C-alpha cells in the first residue's frame, strides 16, 4: 500500500489509507439497485467518476450524484460530484485546476436529515443535512428534477449507521496490509504487568475472569493482592456495581504504592456493609509497606454520589473502611459533559463570534471540566508519588471518569506511557480492556443521535493529554497529529481498535482476527507522529501539570480545525518543502485551500527542569 497516498488523505483529518483504484473493478461493487441515477449513467461516465475517487482495499462505490451543490459555510455554493461508498462520503468540485474535496468517513456522521420537500422554493433549499461527531456540519443541495436525493440519502444512512441497518462495520471489510507491525500485539497484559514488576510478594496475576463470568465488562487477566484468594474475589465482586471489584492499574516501582480501580460499592439507602469488601480493601492497603493509609478518590460530586444511594449505589463509609480517607473530585456525569460539548461545537463551527469569543467559550464550561479532570488526576498522582500512599479510584460504574483519572495519573507518573508505543498500551489497558463503552459513548453504527449514553469522555481524556503536551513540550514522544489521528479513527470505524463496549464483545466478534488495528497504521509511519522536541532523558520522572484555568487552553487545532479563519498560517519553510516535493503537490495545495486541514503543530519552547519531581507554576 502506498504510504504517501495514505498520508495525503490523512492530512484532511478524515479518511486514511486511501488508494486510487484505476481498474474496471473499482465500480463493480455497487449493489444491484444502487439507484436509478447511478444505473442511468454510461459505463464511461461511471468509470471516469470512480477513477477520481481514492478507494481503500475493501471499499466500493454505492451511489453517485454528478450534480450536487455543497453549501459551504465560508463562501459561495460549490457544484460538484457527490459519491457515497461503503466507507465514506466524497465530494469533488467541478473546478479541475483547484478542486475542493470533502472526504468524510461515514462513521463520523451523527445525524443525517433531508431538508426541504417537494414544495421547497429556492435553488438550494432541497437537499441533505449532515451533523458530524468531529464538530463539522455539512449541507448539500440536490436538484429536485433529478430525483437523486432519495438514493444518496438512503446510501448514507445505510453505511453511516450499519448496526441500525444490519450491516457490518467497514472495519470488517477493510483489507489494508501493514507489514511493519501488528498493532494487535502492542498490548499484552502479562507483559505489561511484568514491566511493572509483577508478580511481587504482595500482588499476583489472576485469570479468574478468563471466561468473563465474574464481570463481563472486565478484562480476562487481572492483578490483585496476593492475600486475596480467587474465592475471596468471587464474594467481593457482588458488592460492587457491575461486579467491577478493585484491581490493580499501576504500582510504583520503588514505594510499591498503587493505583487501583473499581466501581462504586452497593451500599444503598440503608448503608449496607460488606465485611469481605472491607477486608479486601485492607489487603490493598497492607500491600504497600510504605504507608498504612489508603485514599479513596471518588470521581463524582458529593451530591451525585449521595443520589446514587437511592439506586443502590453510593460510596464507602470511613467508619467501615478504617485508615481510608474518602475524597470527592467533583467531575460531572456524562450528561453534563455531553451538553458542554454541544455548546462548544456551536461556538466553533461554522461561525465564530469574534466579539464575544472568550465569554462564549467560558459559558460552555468545557475548559472548567478539563481543569477538574486534570486536577483530579494530579491529586491521584501526587498521593502516590509524594505521600507514597495507595489510591483507589472509582466513579459509579468505573468505566468513564475512572478511566480518565487512572490513565492520566499513570501518564504523569510513568514516562513509558509518554512514548508512542507506551501511550498505545495505556489506551489499550485502561480504556479498551477495562470496558470503556466506546460503542455507546461514541454511538458507533447507530442512528440514535439523541441517545443519552453518548458522551465525549474519551475526547476529554485526549484533550487533557494535549494540555500536558503544551505544558511539557519535550516530555512526550508523540505530537498533536498523533492525538488528532486517534480521535479521527475513534469515529471512522476503519479500524477495529475502538469498536464495541468491552473485551468480551471484541473476543466474541473476533475483532483482532477480522480487522486491522489503528496501531498498525500509526506504527508503520512513526515519523509522522513523532515530536521533534522529545527528550526522554529530561523528563524521565513525574510530571504534575498546573491545573489553574490560566494554564488551560482551548484546543483550537482540533475543535476549530474545520474553520479556515482559525487555522494558523503555514510557515514559509514548510510551504517551500511542499512545493519541492513531487508527490501529490496539487492535492496538498487544494487541501490547504479548502476543507483539508494542515495538522502542523505550532512551534513550542523547550524547557528543562533539573528536578526529579516537576510541578509547573
Can you tell me the distance from the alpha carbon of 68 to that of 142, in angstroms, rounded to the nearest whole number? 5
Q: For residue 71, count other CB atoms closer than 10 A to its CB.
A: 16
User: Which has the closest alpha carbon to 173: 491, 494, 488?
Assistant: 494
Rounded to an integer, what distance in angstroms lies between the CA atom of residue 451 and that of residue 461? 21
- Catalytic residue from among 72, 132, 395, 464: 395
Predicted local distance difference test score (pLDDT) of residue 388: 97
CB 61 within 8 A of CB 44: no
> Is the separation of the CB atoms in 29 and 61 below 8 Å?
yes
- Where do the domains of the chain lie, and which CATH numbers do they carry? 3-160 (2.30.29.30), 183-562+597-615 (no CATH)
- The candidate with the shortest Cα–Cα distance to 516, out of 170, 188, 219, 2, is 170
Cβ neighbors of 48 (< 8 A, separation 6 or more) are: none
Q: What percent of the chain has pLDDT over 70?
A: 82
- Stronger pLDDT, 569 or 277, i.e. the higher one: 277
Higher pLDDT, 574 or 531: 531
What's the CA gap between 149 and 325, in Å, rounded? 61
* Number of Cβ within a 10 Å radius of residue 231: 10
100/483: higher pLDDT: 483
Burial category of 575 from C-beta neighbours within 10 Å (exposed 0-12, middle 13-18, buried 19 and up): middle
Q: CA quadruple 498, 499, 501, 504: dihedral positive or negative?
A: negative
- Residue 465's pLDDT is what? 99
The pLDDT of residue 579:
41
Mark the binding-site residues for substrate, compressed into ranges.
333-334, 395-401
Q: Give yes or no for a contact between 164 and 446, defined as CB atoms under 8 angstroms apart.
A: yes
State mean pLDDT over 489-495: 98
pLDDT (0 to 100) of residue 11: 37
Please determine, for residue 271, whether its predicted confidence score (pLDDT) is greater than 50. Answer: yes
| Model pLDDT, residue 119 | 52
Residue 368 CB neighbour total at 10 angstroms: 14
**What cell was used for 517?**
488495528
Average pLDDT over residues 387-414: 98
Instruction: State residue 536's pLDDT score.
Output: 83
| Residue-wise pLDDT tens digits, 524-571 | 999 999 999 999 887 788 999 999 999 999 999 999 999 887 876 555
pLDDT at residue 193 in the model: 98
Residue 41, pLDDT > 80, answer no
Say if residues 385 and 613 touch (Cβ distance below 8 Å): yes
Predicted local confidence at residue 586, as pLDDT:
34
Whether the pLDDT of residue 225 is over 70: the answer is yes
Give the tens place of pLDDT for each residue, 139-155. 999 988 878 899 999 99
Decide if pLDDT at 361 tops 80: yes
Residue 219, Cβ density class (10 Å: 0-12 exposed, 13-18 middle, ≥19 buried): buried
Tally the C-alpha atoms within 13 A of residue 255's C-alpha that lie toward its C-beta: 19
The mean pLDDT of 336-343, rounded to a whole number, is: 98
pLDDT of residue 565: 79
When pLDDT is cut at 50, 70 and 90, the band that residue 118 belongs to is low
Residue 78 pLDDT grade (very low, low, confident, very high; cuts 50, 70, 90):
very high
* 95 — pLDDT class (breaks 50, 70, 90): confident
- DSSP secondary structure string for all residues of 91-146: EEES-SSS--EEEEEGGGEEEEEEE--TT--STTSSEEEEEETTS-EEEEEE-GGG
Q: Among the ranges 178-182, 349-353, 429-433, 588-592, which has the highest mean pLDDT value? A: 429-433
In the residue annotation, 395 being an active-site residue is answered as yes
The pLDDT-based confidence of 30 (bands split at 50, 70, 90) is very low
pLDDT score at 43: 57
pLDDT higher at 378 or 583: 378
pTM: 0.86
Q: How high is the mean pLDDT of the chain?
A: 86
Query: Distance between CA atoms of 345 and 560, rounded to whole angstroms?
Result: 9
Collapsed DSSP state (helix, strand, coil) of residue 325:
strand
Binding residues: 333-334, 395-401
Amino acid at each position: 500500500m502506498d504510504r504517501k497516498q495514505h498520508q495525503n488523505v490523512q492530512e484532511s483529518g478524515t479518511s486514511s489509507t486511501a488508494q486510487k483504484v484505476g481498474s474496471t473493478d473499482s465500480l463493480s461493487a455497487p449493489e444491484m439497485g444502487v439507484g436509478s441515477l447511478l444505473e442511468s449513467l454510461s459505463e464511461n461516465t461511471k468509470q471516469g467518476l470512480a477513477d477520481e475517487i481514492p478507494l481503500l482495499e475493501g471499499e466500493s462505490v454505492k451511489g453517485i450524484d454528478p450534480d450536487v451543490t455543497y453549501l459551504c459555510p465560508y463562501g459561495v455554493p460549490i457544484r460538484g460530484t457527490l459519491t457515497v461508498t461503503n466507507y465514506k462520503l466524497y465530494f469533488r468540485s467541478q473546478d479541475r485546476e483547484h478542486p475542493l474535496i470533502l472526504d468524510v468517513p461515514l462513521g463520523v456522521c451523527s445525524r443525517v436529515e433531508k431538508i426541504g420537500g417537494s414544495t421547497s422554493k429556492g435553488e438550494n433549499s432541497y437537499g441533505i443535512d449532515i451533523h458530524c461527531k468531529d464538530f463539522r456540519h455539512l449541507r448539500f443541495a440536490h436538484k429536485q428534477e433529478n430525483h437523486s436525493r432519495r438514493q444518496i440519502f438512503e446510501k448514507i444512512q445505510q453505511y453511516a449507521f450499519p448496526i441500525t441497518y444490519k450491516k457490518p462495520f467497514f472495519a470488517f471489510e477493510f483489507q489494508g496490509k501493514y507489514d511493519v507491525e501488528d498493532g494487535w500485539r502492542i498490548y499484552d497484559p502479562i507483559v505489561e504487568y511484568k514491566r511493572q514488576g509483577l508478580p511481587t510478594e504482595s500482588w499476583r496475576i489472576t485469570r479468574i475472569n478468563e471466561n468473563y463470568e465474574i464481570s463481563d465488562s472486565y478484562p480476562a487477566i487481572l492483578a490483585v493482592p496476593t492475600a486475596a484468594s480467587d474465592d475471596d474475589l468471587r464474594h467481593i465482586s457482588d458488592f460492587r456495581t457491575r461486579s467491577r471489584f478493585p484491581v490493580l492499574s499501576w504500582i510504583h516501582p520503588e514505594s510499591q504504592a498503587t493505583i487501583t480501580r473499581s466501581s462504586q460499592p452497593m451500599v444503598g439507602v440503608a448503608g449496607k456493609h460488606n465485611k469481605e469488601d472491607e477486608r479486601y480493601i485492607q489487603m490493598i492497603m497492607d500491600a504497600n509497606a510504605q504507608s498504612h493509609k489508603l485514599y479513596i478518590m471518588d470521581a463524582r460530586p458529593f451530591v451525585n454520589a449521595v443520589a446514587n444511594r437511592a439506586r443502590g449505589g453510593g460510596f464507602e463509609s470511613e467508619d467501615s473502611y478504617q485508615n481510608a480517607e474518602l475524597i470527592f473530585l467533583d467531575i460531572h456525569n456524562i450528561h453534563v459533559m455531553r451538553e458542554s460539548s454541544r455548546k462548544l461545537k456551536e461556538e466553533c463551527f461554522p461561525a465564530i463570534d469574534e466579539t464575544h469569543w472568550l465569554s462564549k467559550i467560558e459559558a460552555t464550561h468545557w475548559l472548567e471540566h478539563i481543569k477538574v479532570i486534570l486536577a483530579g488526576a494530579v491529586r491521584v498522582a501526587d498521593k502516590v508519588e509524594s505521600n507514597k500512599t495507595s489510591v483507589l479510584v472509582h466513579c459509579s460504574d468505573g468505566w468513564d471518569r475512572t478511566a480518565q483519572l487512572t490513565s492520566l495519573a499513570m501518564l504523569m507518573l510513568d514516562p513509558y506511557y509518554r512514548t508512542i508505543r507506551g501511550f498505545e498500551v495505556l489506551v489499550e489497558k485502561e480504556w479498551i480492556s477495562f470496558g470503556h463503552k466506546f460503542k455507546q459513548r461514541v454511538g458507533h453504527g447507530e442512528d440514535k443521535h439523541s441517545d443519552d449514553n453518548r458522551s465525549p469522555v474519551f475526547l476529554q481524556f485526549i484533550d487533557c493529554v494535549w494540555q500536558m503536551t503544551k505544558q511539557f513540550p519535550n516530555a512526550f514522544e508523540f505530537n498533536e497529529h498523533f492525538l488528532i489521528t486517534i480521535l479521527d479513527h475513534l469515529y471512522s470505524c476503519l479500524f477495529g481498535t475502538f469498536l464495541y463496549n468491552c473485551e468480551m464483545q471484541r473476543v466474541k466478534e473476533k475483532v483482532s482476527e477480522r480487522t486491522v488495528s489503528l496501531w498498525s497504521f500509526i506504527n508503520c509511519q512513526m515519523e509522522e507522529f513523532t515530536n521533534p522536541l522529545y527528550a526522554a532523558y529530561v523528563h524521565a520522572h513525574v510530571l504534575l501539570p498546573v491545573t489553574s484555568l490560566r494554564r488551560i487552553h482551548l484546543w483550537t487545532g482540533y475543535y476549530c480545525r474545520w474553520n479556515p479563519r482559525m487555522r494558523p498560517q503555514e510557515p514559509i519553510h514548510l510551504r517551500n518543502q511542499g512545493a519541492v516535493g513531487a508527490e501529490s503537490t496539487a492535492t496538498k495545495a487544494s487541501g490547504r485551500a479548502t476543507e483539508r486541514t494542515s495538522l502542523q503543530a505550532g512551534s513550542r519552547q523547550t524547557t528543562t527542569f533539573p528536578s526529579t519531581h516537576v510541578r509547573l507554576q
